[in-house]
Chain A
């Protein structure tokens, strides 16, 4: 897919253009400088290529040393469980899973321990841990390295779920995630790592639960995350030529979810399309549409539509993979349908 430079909000003075991976790296570096309790652990986060298969942790081990930037064995359950235990005991771990798919091996500590400890213990414990992973398809990584699994985590009370689509959001949200007293599942997208965008320098925490309007429009609202934001922006250009003005809302975090922002947009446009790469069935699109219908049924002039991944394991072949994923043309077609 194309790798657009996204200009969303007016850039503050001290703004550089960084890649999504560089922005995440900057967030980790600045938070580790700010708070000695923050440390990073995961598979190949220190030695491989100077830090991380995707370069997110590049150079951190040189600055912070192998105690705070820890390569781990291939032991996903222990990575998650140790991070939870360390967090309860006063550290602030950032645990990395090389692929979100591998979190299947780590669901017990994430779901049964991290998410529930505060509640089970009557509010008398905190689990300030970040579980970082990258998800998504588009590189021919096939069925076990391409899934978008955010819905798994959104289902579990006690977890927060962040899904940034731009370098600026990646940095600002990771800063917030590290400072959060709750466990945060921080899902990046592998296709986005090399995309570039303006990132404010310095302390730029973006609060959880605040959506960002990536494109203002009058005729229909698109809500989506990760690559779908960029595909929707591309679709919006096509649609603009047809006289259809699409608004693109990126919730940026799914838990908490900024329903107010989505409802405000739908009250303006009267039409809603939701999109995600994740499998359509029981995906977050269904949840978003259900919440909008409950909150603003009267504002809808057409049935909301979903543009999602097919309910199929992600195939290897490029044509098949592209067919399994929602594309900009699919978004444009859905928008034409809801405004018709």
Chain B
């Protein structure tokens, strides 16, 4: 963390970022519990280990800006201001959830808040984000759209088509590749033609940079530069955040494609520990305050779980509602 950034972001904002990182981790730890106890259906894709990416990137946004997310989307949603109670209720399929229980983990959205949805299709948000940026440009607004996707989406054709369009039209979109090293069992180096995917931006004539995705301030600085460029009408950027998912692709992942030593090595770079240490060292908060903040987050998550569990199931009559306006 630089002193310059301590100025760019207020102490309140920095504490809020730490709080959101804790929130993401506790939310997904709790989601794993709920999945294992059978309260959740389908699948859940934990964002644990990657918290610095969503939080650092969304810290560079204004409320009117938008994001698109992925199947591993809880972190993005919380970082953009999603309500953990409505998210948790959605995970449990309840009528009070963001999607009235019709979407589940992979489709949580809050369009009013600029969260254009998690997405069950790898790369599915890329075109949507680019289109949202087009809508902002057409409306004469300087809103920016952040497009989160994983390394697995690097090889979807829609990224090529969208990046080219964003470049020729100078659309205010920032493509954020969360390189968490694996697309299910596939190590990035098995299926991606270059080890440093940010070089692909050169093919479209816009900037491509990478940053330490375990360092929330590095993510913030890098994304803030790209957002400023987009907001100024200078067009898109690609930011690759090098990070790691501590857990499997989802619950039930055989995890036979990586070894524990690798996981442990990444955990020594834990983004929450690191940011908390930095904030304490810079006297943004005390160690006691950090403990209280973490404890308060756990309470808030428990309250979200209690809200979700106490919420009603949707009525069967709701089945055919919301197909058409």
B107: Cβ under 8 A from any A Cβ = yes
Are A113 and B111 interface neighbours, CB within 8 A? Answer: no
A89 — which chain B residues lie within 8 A by C-beta?
66, 116, 131-132, 135-136, 145
* Cα(A93)–Cα(B324), bound, Å: 18
Instruction: Choose among A39, A118, A119 the residue with the greatest number of B CB atoms under 10 Å from its CB.
Output: A119
A181 — which chain B residues lie within 8 A by C-beta?
325
Are A72 and B111 interface neighbours, CB within 8 A? Answer: no
Min distance, Cβ B253 to any Cβ of chain A, angstroms: 23
* Cα(A121)–Cα(B127), bound, Å: 18
- A118 nearest CB neighbor, chain B only: B322
Known pairs A72-B165, A73-B168, A90-B135; A85 contacts B325 (CB<8 A): no
* Cα(A123)–Cα(B98), bound, Å: 10
A8: Cβ under 8 A from any B Cβ = no
Are A121 and B138 interface neighbours, CB within 8 A? Answer: no
* Cα(A124)–Cα(B136), bound, Å: 20
* Cα(A183)–Cα(B129), bound, Å: 18
B48: Cβ under 8 A from any A Cβ = no
B248: Cβ under 8 A from any A Cβ = no
B120: Cβ under 8 A from any A Cβ = yes
A81 — which chain B residues lie within 8 A by C-beta?
126-128, 130-131, 158, 161-162
* Cα(A324)–Cα(B127), bound, Å: 37
Are B131 and A86 interface neighbours, CB within 8 A? Answer: yes
A313: Cβ under 8 A from any B Cβ = no
A70 — which chain B residues lie within 8 A by C-beta?
169
A68: Cβ under 8 A from any B Cβ = yes
Number of interface residues of A (CB under 8 A): 43
A166: Cβ under 8 A from any B Cβ = no
* Cα(A181)–Cα(B322), bound, Å: 12
A78: Cβ under 8 A from any B Cβ = yes
B110 — which chain A residues lie within 8 A by C-beta?
124
Are B121 and A112 interface neighbours, CB within 8 A? Answer: yes
B84: Cβ under 8 A from any A Cβ = no
- A125 nearest CB neighbor, chain B only: B111
A45: Cβ under 8 A from any B Cβ = no
* Cα(A73)–Cα(B167), bound, Å: 12
A80: Cβ under 8 A from any B Cβ = yes
Residue pairs across A and B with CB atoms within 8 Å: the count is 150
* Cα(A86)–Cα(B129), bound, Å: 8
B321's partner among A75, A117, A123 (CB-CB below 8 A) is A123
A108 — which chain B residues lie within 8 A by C-beta?
121, 124, 158
B132's partner among A68, A75, A85, A120 (CB-CB below 8 A) is A85
* Cα(A125)–Cα(B116), bound, Å: 9
* Binary contact readout A90-119 vs B (1 if CB under 8 angstroms, 0 otherwise): 110100000000000000110011000111
A134: Cβ under 8 A from any B Cβ = no
- A121 nearest CB neighbor, chain B only: B109
Min distance, Cβ B234 to any Cβ of chain A, angstroms: 17
* Cα(A68)–Cα(B135), bound, Å: 11
* Cα(A37)–Cα(B138), bound, Å: 8
Are A85 and B134 interface neighbours, CB within 8 A? Answer: yes
A84 — which chain B residues lie within 8 A by C-beta?
127-128, 131
B323: Cβ under 8 A from any A Cβ = yes
Known pairs A85-B116, A90-B135; A124 contacts B128 (CB<8 A): no
B241: Cβ under 8 A from any A Cβ = no
B235: Cβ under 8 A from any A Cβ = no
Are A78 and B322 interface neighbours, CB within 8 A? Answer: no
A126: Cβ under 8 A from any B Cβ = yes
- A181 nearest CB neighbor, chain B only: B325
Give A residues with C-beta under 8 Å from B: 37, 39, 67-68, 70, 72-73, 75, 77-78, 80-91, 93, 108-109, 112-113, 117-126, 157-158, 160, 180-182
19 A-B pairs whose Cβ atoms sit less than 8 Å apart in the complex: A68-B138, A72-B165, A75-B164, A81-B127, A84-B131, A85-B116, A85-B131, A89-B116, A89-B145, A108-B124, A112-B124, A113-B119, A117-B117, A119-B102, A119-B323, A120-B117, A123-B100, A124-B98, A182-B325
**7 additional contacts, CB 8 Å, given A70-B169, A82-B165, A90-B135?**
A77-B161, A81-B128, A82-B130, A85-B134, A120-B109, A124-B110, A158-B324
